[in-house]
Amino acid sequence: MAMRLSGAPVRDKILKYILLKGREAGVNAGLTVLRMGEKPEDLAYEKSIIAMGEKAGITVKVKLLDENMTDKKAKDLISEINNDKSIHGVLLLRPMANKEAEKAITENLAPSKDVDGITPSCMAGLYGADKTYFPPCTARACMEILSFYNLSPKGKRVVVIGRSLVIGKPVSMMLLREDATVTICHSKTSNLKEITKNADIVIVAIGRREAIGGEFLEKGQTVIDVGINVTEENKLIGDVNYEEAFSIVDNITPVPGGVGSVTASLLLLHCLQSCLGIIDKY
């Protein structure tokens, strides 16, 4: 039987820190969420950020973008945001229906306001182990969960399944920075089961409901399930078969209630840090 690595205490510790630190500094940090359309997953994430912002003392504003906005309009909007001293962080709900606008926003957002690590500068900073930029929040959420539960990846064999720029690659870089020995797997990996069974920690970010079953896992392992899949009944299910994994491994994050709950709190933490001009430590 595994230990359940709940995200709630990790999230609550971060929110408490934000509230206290913000009050102590007497600042009012502001986050702007840029949304295009009404995708249920965007609305759900936005709702949780607004609720957490209220708890943590961060002002969250939502800006709805026109799906037909031109490249110039997107650049003008970002220039306005970059110059607005009341906005300390920006979250872009991606993927957006208008790819050109998404690209223009990503490329022109000031790195200091890029609290989800999506701009080219933040990406380069991550790969160059430069801690003066914010990392993507979901990748950092995996690291914060390991740290909170004293499961240091130092010297451990860590297998990351998924190589996206949102999670797989950034979390792999962060693990390397923490002296883990990292193997990155993807849809073309042969012998995935052999690779995962030899790991101490398995981080799963595939985007396929319960793709990783008990046959991929071994006793003694820690499993971090990043996946969020919505069923026909509107239930959230991870990329790992939780029931099977729970009876085999030592530690596992649930879905919901695991990585996802920590991600939004880190976004708010980064926003406060942007406001205070300090990055990385908390």
Contacts with ligand NAP by CB under 6 A lie at 138, 161-164, 166-168, 185-189, 192, 205-208, 211, 226-229, 239, 259-260, 263
Give min distance, CB of 71 to ligand NAP, in A: 24
What tokens does 92 get?
């872009």
| Burial class of residue 237 in the structure, from the number of CB atoms within 10 Å of its CB (0-12 exposed, 13-18 middle, 19+ buried) | middle
Q: How many CB atoms lie within 10 A of CB 69?
A: 18
Give min distance, CB of 25 to ligand NAP, in A: 27
Q: Between 135 and 168, whose beta carbon lies closer to ligand NAP?
A: 168
Give min distance, CB of 263 to ligand NAP, in A: 4
Counting every residue written for the chain, the total comes to 282
Q: Between 62 and 236, whose beta carbon lies closer to ligand NAP?
A: 236
Q: Between 99 and 154, whose beta carbon lies closer to ligand NAP?
A: 99
Number of separate helices (H) and strands (E) present in the chain: 10, 11
Give min distance, CB of 203 to ligand NAP, in A: 10
- Residue whose C-beta lies closest to ligand NAP: 164
Closest C-alpha to 202, from 170, 230, 228, 180: 180
CA dihedral 220→222→227→228, nearest 10 degrees, is 100
- Residues 264 and 134: beta-carbon distance below 8 Å: no
Give min distance, CB of 121 to ligand NAP, in A: 21
Give min distance, CB of 264 to ligand NAP, in A: 8
Task: Supply φ then ψ for residue 247, to 5 degrees.
Answer: -80, -5
Residues 6+ apart with CB under 8 A from 260: 7, 141, 228, 236
Identify the DSSP state of 130. Answer: -
Tell me which H or E stretch contains 116: none
Q: Between 10 and 206, whose beta carbon lies closer to ligand NAP?
A: 206
Give min distance, CB of 277 to ligand NAP, in A: 26
Give min distance, CB of 261 to ligand NAP, in A: 8
What's the CA angle centered on 55, arms 228 and 144, to 5 degrees? 50
Q: Between 87 and 226, whose beta carbon lies closer to ligand NAP?
A: 226
H helix intervals, the chain: 8-25, 40-56, 71-83, 99-108, 120-127, 137-148, 168-177, 192-197, 242-246, 259-276
Q: Between 77 and 174, whose beta carbon lies closer to ligand NAP?
A: 174
Q: Between 20 and 97, whose beta carbon lies closer to ligand NAP?
A: 97
Q: Between 47 and 186, whose beta carbon lies closer to ligand NAP?
A: 186
